[in-house]
Structure 1
Amino acid sequence: MVWKKLGSRNFSSCPNGSIQWIWDVFGECAQDGWDEASVGLGLISILCFAASTFPQFIKAYKTGNMDQALSLWFLLGWIGGDSCNLIGSFLADQLPLQTYTAVYYVLADLVMLTLYFYYKFRKRPSLLSAPINSVLLFLMGTACATPLLSATGPVAAPRETFRGRTLLSVEPGSKPFTRQEIIGFVIGSVSSVLYLLSRLPQIRTNFLRKSTQGISYSLFALVMLGNTLYGLSVLLKNPEEGQSEGSYLLHHLPWLVGSLGVLLLDTIISIQFLVYRRSTPASELEPLLLPS
């Protein structure tokens, strides 16, 4: 299990570590207040991401028009970005908290996408209704249980040497990048592009509907907060010994763009919520105007 592969090593491998439980649980050597703040912000960002989807689930249940309010391309771009982020996290050996966030969010995206198709096809009874409901229940249960797996997963054998944040890092006497790390970096770059592009269809959908009804603003507000804290947690982490700050930022650039770069587009969506907060979509008014 990925959850514990970095934990339960001998704390002596982290000679300057200030908090042992961070090392035991996350495999990160927090050497000072900056590292501790990085872990703290990372944990809060996971909570924000975990909580962000539930208001949308509730909103979808109340309004029943999730398939009209959310753009399918927005959801597909989102899950594509999160999937690439997860793959890149493993290949490029990102911070453990970044990997945990990626795993959870892929599951949450699958729940969101399943809900979209549920509301899209619920008025069209078919042989797919039962399978869709089963998949939805399974994914929701999995997404809710995932945060608990970290406490029960098997523990891998400890390593003798400490490797903290090693995303494309240059170790003494080693080659700058391995092929696997380069592939992870490229996939992470694709992820950041998908994150940026995913917002555009939703902005267009809101503009065409002249409404944001059916969408929970808490979804975007918590995602914005989570992305901000996620980016800050990466920025606050101390570079490894022998690695410059510029090199560290360059190697983390795709994930920083994916988290902090989308804030501008999410701000545009926030403005749309203000502009269209009292508007009703034209598609919902048309049936009232038809002769009986």
Structure 2
Amino acid sequence: MVGLFASSTLALSSLTTTNAGPDLTVSEALSGIAGSISLVSWIVLLLPQLIENYKNGRADALSLAFIAAWFLGDVANLIGAIWGSLLPTVVAIAIYFCFSDMLLLGQCLYYNSLTSKASADSSPIDTPQITISRPTQDLSTEHDPLITDFERRRSSVASRRSSVALERQRKDSLSSILRDDANSLSPAAREVLSILAVIAAGTVGWALAYYSGAWNVKGDPEGGREMPMGAKVLGYLSAVLYLAARVPQIVKNAREGSCEGLSRLFFLLSLLGNITYGAGILLHSTEREYVMDNLPWLMGSLGTMAEDIIIFIQFRIYSKKDHHHRTVEEDA
């Protein structure tokens, strides 16, 4: 689940080799730093949403179509990276992204199943009214099995509810620890610090790679070999899937009139990743041929950024309603 980074495996791979490079220009250094920040953004992208789901004990705020489309994009990216014989590090990162997607998808399915089960258990049980015309002395014999069956069902439901309650109590205690630790800072302050930490990690990571001789912006990791057409097609497909993935989430937010349960930091990291990704390409070179080769990724990145901005607008519009809803739940 990496925004447009799946397509960046076909573009940024030309920025990383194992040969030590000569002195860099300012634009080349900035290009490398931007690409490194983008990579760190994608690596930690899912953590805020995974934590948000865990704290809430539910994941129904996320559109499953959104996650599924993003997962398919990462799968297409992984196959394309292997097919195109890209750097082992690129393939390893693509595998990591697929694993992260499956983790989030599994978490969502698990919490959604718990929510559905709790809703089913809370529904009333209709007991049939049975009229039996028998002598009085036979009534106890006829009714005993019915009463026993009903009590057994009621006991089973009570047991399930008790199990769910205990599970929620355990999760609530752990979630309260996370909330108590987080309450020392405002949400905006935590988001700013998180973004700054990602930028710092990306910058330091690039510096270590460069000074250790693992970075050469002028290198060609593929040795001038033409990228297979199938790998290129999969790269385009992944870009389209990432671009389309957010549409179901935007529609879901608008339909429900709420963004409650979504992590704003998740989308901030996505925006940061796409901005630095595009900047890394343009800072590397503005030659027409190079820009045209990377134009699909740049356009896809720009489109994804526009969709993220729409979601930020939804956060803003629905924030008062979501705050009121949380206040009502806490009072209850």
TM-score range, shorter chain: 0.5 to 0.7
- Counterpart CA distance in 2 for 1:95 and 1:271 is 38
TM-score, with length taken from structure 2: 0.56
What's the offset of the Cα at 1:98? Answer: 6.3
Question: What residue in structure 2 maps to residue 226 of structure 1?
Answer: 273
Q: Does 1:41 align with 2:88?
A: no
Q: Is the Cα–Cα contact under 8 Å of residues 17 and 219 in structure 2 kept in the other structure?
A: no
Question: What residue in structure 2 maps to residue 164 of structure 1?
Answer: 220
What's the offset of the Cα at 1:85? Answer: 2.5
Cα distance 1:105–1:113, how it changes in 2: closer, same or farther (>3 A)?
same
- Counterpart CA distance in 1 for 2:284 and 2:58 is 42
Aligned match for 2:254, one of 184, 201, 207? 207
Q: Does 1:267 align with 2:259?
A: no
Please give the residue correspondences for 1:138-287 in structure 2 after superposition, counting only pairs within 5 Å: 163-164=219-220, 177=226, 180=228, 182-238=229-285, 245-280=287-322
Cα distance 1:93–1:256, how it changes in 2: closer, same or farther (>3 A)?
farther
Which of the two has higher C-alpha Rg? 2
- Counterpart CA distance in 1 for 2:240 and 2:100 is 20
Q: Is the Cα–Cα contact under 8 Å of residues 42 and 97 in structure 1 kept in the other structure?
A: no
- Counterpart CA distance in 2 for 1:104 and 1:77 is 17
Structure 1 unpaired stretches of 5+: 19-30, 126-161, 240-244, 288-292
Give 3-state SS (helix, strand or coil) of 1:277's partner.
helix
Structure 2 unpaired stretches of 5+: 1-8, 119-217
TM-score, with length taken from structure 1: 0.63
Give 3-state SS (helix, strand or coil) of 1:114's partner.
helix
Aligned match for 1:65, one of 36, 55, 58? 58
**Identical counterparts, % of pairs:** 33
- Counterpart CA distance in 2 for 1:183 and 1:236 is 28
Cα distance 1:265–1:258, how it changes in 2: closer, same or farther (>3 A)?
same
Structure with higher helix content: 2
Q: Is the Cα–Cα contact under 8 Å of residues 71 and 202 in structure 1 kept in the other structure?
A: yes
Cα distance 1:88–1:32, how it changes in 2: closer, same or farther (>3 A)?
farther
What's the offset of the Cα at 1:100? Answer: 6.2
Identify the structure with bigger relative contact order (alpha carbons < 8 Å, sequence gap 6+).
2
Amino acid at match of 1:115: Q
Q: Is the Cα–Cα contact under 8 Å of residues 81 and 194 in structure 1 kept in the other structure?
A: yes
What whole-Å deviation, never above 9, does each CA across 1:253-285 have from its counterpart, x for those lacking one?
Answer: 33323323211111111100111112259x99x
- Counterpart CA distance in 2 for 1:111 and 1:228 is 26
Please give the residue correspondences for 1:11-30 in structure 2 after superposition, counting only pairs within 5 Å: 11=20, 14=21, 17-18=22-23
Cα distance 1:98–1:32, how it changes in 2: closer, same or farther (>3 A)?
farther
